[in-house]
Structure 1
Amino acid sequence: MTNHTQEQPAHAERMRDHWWWRPGWRAGRRFYTWHITFGDDTDLHELVKKYQAALDMSGVDLIPSEWLHLTMQGVGFTDEVDETDVKQIVQAARQRCADLAPFEVTFERPLVEPEAIMFRVAPAEPVRRLRAAIREAIADVWGADNVPEAEGFTPHVSLAYSNADGPAQPFIDALGSVQAEPVTVTLRAAHLIVLNRDERMYRWTTYATVPLGAD
């Protein structure tokens, strides 16, 4: 297996509350978005739990295994997007993702960012190709000029969200106390989900699952 070890970016020095309301969001509102989810990846779940055991302290909200996710590409709020368009986007994504093979990614050590503690996913390029295919599927339906969200994208999976302002060093120290081997998982599908962020947690129902590779 290829070794994807790379230099770890620097930790943040300060934390801030993640749960401020982004533009358009409010309690009860739902959002169509493409994610990779990890409901069946038990090796990743166990790795996350090792680090979360050390992070069981005030200032962060730990993410349950069932809600681990890799955010890829938003579509729009459910009260603003016609479901006919959503179905066409899913069909376009099925066609484009059929040309992409499943691929492996590795999770090594988490990084403390200002609003979250997360794994940077390596290698990033296969995830970027998958996201590009999803963006092309949206463009197939809405046109290239109407694909939402900026191109900037860093594949990551968070294991905790900051819920307060304060120094990052206690969380950096907690992560440093953990001894754990990297975990590699195979990504086989993208998921269009209906997301909510009420009660300081991201939860969703799955609208469609699009496999990678031809059947």
Structure 2
Amino acid sequence: MSPLPTHLVDRWRQRSDQQPGQGMLYWHALLRDQPEVVAMVQRAQERLEPFADGLHFTPLEWLHVTSLVVGPTQDLDEPALEALVAEGRRRLAGVPARQLEIGRVLYHPEAIMLAVEPVKAVAPVREAARAATFAVTGHGGLPESDPWMPHITVAYSTSSRSAAEIIEALGRGFPRGRVLLDSLCLVDQVGPERSWDWHERARLSLG
């Protein structure tokens, strides 16, 4: 996420969004029950409020760290979904829960995020999700950006604008906070990304 972007762009300007009723399966760590995470994101969103006409804020209810994009929901029937949950539970049972840190702000032309660190501590969770997905579907999830950087998205950009004012208002970081990564959820995201029509299919404990 470096160097800092000079401009923000509309995340959805060329992105093909899902149609109403279409779903996409994700492995997410959901964080709405972690007060330190919610409080830090709230502070960040308050600082960004003057720029809200060009930003789309992540609802606090759905604060998350994406571990893996599994693929279209319609590609897996109910027995396959049950098998994916069972395989995920088996794989994650061998991965201990872990304490992580947030505070560093990441800027991307399409989004403003908090880094979840250290990356190497999150990697075993992602690899367990990938292995479970491969065992059931024959592939390890959909292609993503490389290198992978675990993060919590504070806001998405919905317009083209200079990034300088936003970076000045929010800064490069907050005092360090803690994240307990102790579960992973299989989430069905239905319809357009910004509709936040999420359905938690399973919550699997680590360790």
TM-score, structure 1 length as denominator? 0.86
Give yes or no for contact 1:37–1:69 (8 Å, CA) kept in 2. yes
Question: Which residue number in structure 1 is paired with residue 12 of structure 2?
Answer: 19
What code does the residue aligned with 2:187 have?
A: I
CA pair 150-180 structure 1, distance change in 2 beyond 3 A: closer
Question: Which residue number in structure 2 is paired with residue 124 of structure 1?
Answer: 119
Q: Deviations over 1:51-108 (max 9, x none)?
A: 1111002211122211111111122222222221111011011111101100011111
> 2:141 and 2:60 mapped to 1: Cα distance?
28
What code does the residue aligned with 1:149 have?
A: L
The alignment of Structure 1 onto Structure 2 pairs a total of residues equal to: 203
> 2:127 and 2:137 mapped to 1: Cα distance?
15
> 1:111 and 1:180 mapped to 2: Cα distance?
11
Question: Which residue number in structure 2 is paired with residue 4 of structure 1?
Answer: none
> 2:85 and 2:26 mapped to 1: Cα distance?
11
Give yes or no for contact 1:67–1:203 (8 Å, CA) kept in 2. no
Residue 57 of structure 2, aligned match among 57, 62, 66: 62
Cα deviation for residue 49 of structure 1 reads: 1.1
Cα deviation for residue 195 of structure 1 reads: 0.8
Question: Which residue number in structure 1 is paired with residue 76 of structure 2?
Answer: 81
CA pair 50-21 structure 1, distance change in 2 beyond 3 A: same
Matched, 1:98 2:82: no
Cα deviation for residue 201 of structure 1 reads: 4.4
Q: Report sequence identity in percent.
A: 31
Question: Which residue number in structure 1 is paired with residue 38 of structure 2?
Answer: 45
Residue 208 of structure 1, aligned match among 187, 202, 205: 202
Question: Which residue number in structure 2 is paired with residue 158 of structure 1?
Answer: 153
Give yes or no for contact 1:35–1:73 (8 Å, CA) kept in 2. yes
Question: Which residue number in structure 1 is paired with residue 164 of structure 2?
Answer: 169
CA pair 203-90 structure 1, distance change in 2 beyond 3 A: same
Cα RMSD after superposing both structures = 2.1
CA pair 103-202 structure 1, distance change in 2 beyond 3 A: same
1:40 partner SS: coil
Q: Deviations over 1:16-37 (max 9, x none)?
A: 1112464572233211111111
Cα deviation for residue 160 of structure 1 reads: 0.5
Q: Gaps (5+ residues) in structure 1?
A: 1-7
> 2:141 and 2:92 mapped to 1: Cα distance?
19
Give yes or no for contact 1:60–1:160 (8 Å, CA) kept in 2. yes
Structure 1 residue ranges, 4+ long, deviating more than 4 angstroms after superposition: none
Give yes or no for contact 2:71–2:142 (8 Å, CA) kept in 1. no
What code does the residue aligned with 2:60 have?
A: S
Q: Gaps (5+ residues) in structure 2?
A: none
Question: Counting helix residues as a fraction of each chain, which structure ranks higher?
Answer: 2
1:141 partner SS: helix
1:110 partner SS: strand
> 2:43 and 2:105 mapped to 1: Cα distance?
11
Give yes or no for contact 2:187–2:202 (8 Å, CA) kept in 1. yes
What code does the residue aligned with 1:92 have?
A: E
